[in-house]
Structure 1
Amino acid sequence: MSARSKARKRALDILFQADVRGEDLPAVLAAEAKRAASEPARVGSWLYARDIVDGVIDNADQIDELIITHARDWKLDRMPAVDRALLRIATWEIVFNSEVPSAVAIDEAVELAKEYSTDGSGSFVHGVLARISRAV
């Protein structure tokens, strides 16, 4: 698994934890940063995970608006928490990170959805992200 794939999984863990536990995302990120400092072997994945989570924090309103607009009759609070987190990660990559091709961001999110979410999540995540990618 590439460092960026590991970073996406790590970002997923952070976003999911904050969402499900109702914790402040910057506080969860700070706690993870403290833990990451004691794990130098994982520094490669940590740096990009932090970029992702910081990007989601900084652009939360725009990211969520894109997801809501392109989710077609799905409200954010009705989506599985894993799907919400993955959509936020990939939307940030598609819109705000020109180093990652949209197809890669979509594929990575779909694979994580298939592994960690519901049976229909892979196709749902793919559909929403494809619409976002075409729109931006």
Structure 2
Amino acid sequence: MSARSKARKRALDVLFAADVRGETPEQSLEAESLRAAARPERASSWPYAREIVQGFIDHAEEIDRLIAANSTGWPLDRMPAVDRGILRIAVWEARYNPEVPVGVAIDEAVELAKELSTDDSPKFVNGLLTAISKDVATA
């Protein structure tokens, strides 16, 4: 697994933890920063994970608006928390990180959904991100 793939998974852990604990992403990011400082063996994936989460925090309203606007029949609050986190990461990468091609952001999100979510999630994540990528391309 590449360092960026590990970082995406760590960022998902942070966003998921915030979601299920009822914390803000900032609180969850701070707690994970303290854990990361105590675990130097995980240091290589932490900077990009932190960048992803901070990127989501900085653009949360726009990212959630894009997800909600392109999700037919699935309001953001009805989505599984893991899918919501995966989508938030992928939308941030596709829209705000020019180093990550949109196709890579989608592929990585689908892989996370395959590994960590329901059987239906990879198809849902792929379809939703494909629709969002059209919005991203015109932005």
TM-score norm. by structure 2 comes to 0.95
Aligned position for 2:10:
10
In 2, distance between residues paired with 1:61 and 1:111?
25
In 2, distance between residues paired with 1:79 and 1:28?
20
* Aligned positions of 1:1-136 closer than 5 A: 1-136=1-136
RMSD of aligned alpha carbons: 0.8
SS of aligned partner of 1:59: helix
SS of aligned partner of 2:118: coil
Q: Structure 1 unaligned segments of length 5 or more: list them.
A: none
For residue 22 of structure 1, report the CA deviation from its aligned partner.
0.5
User: Structure 1 residue runs of 4+, over 4 Å off?
Assistant: none
SS of aligned partner of 1:104: helix
In 1, distance between residues paired with 2:19 and 2:68?
17
SS of aligned partner of 2:28: helix
Q: Structure 2 unaligned segments of length 5 or more: list them.
A: none
For residue 41 of structure 1, report the CA deviation from its aligned partner.
2.2
Q: Which moved more, 1:104-113 or 1:33-42?
A: 33-42
In 2, distance between residues paired with 1:100 and 1:53?
15
For residue 11 of structure 1, report the CA deviation from its aligned partner.
0.4
How many residue pairs align between the two structures? 136
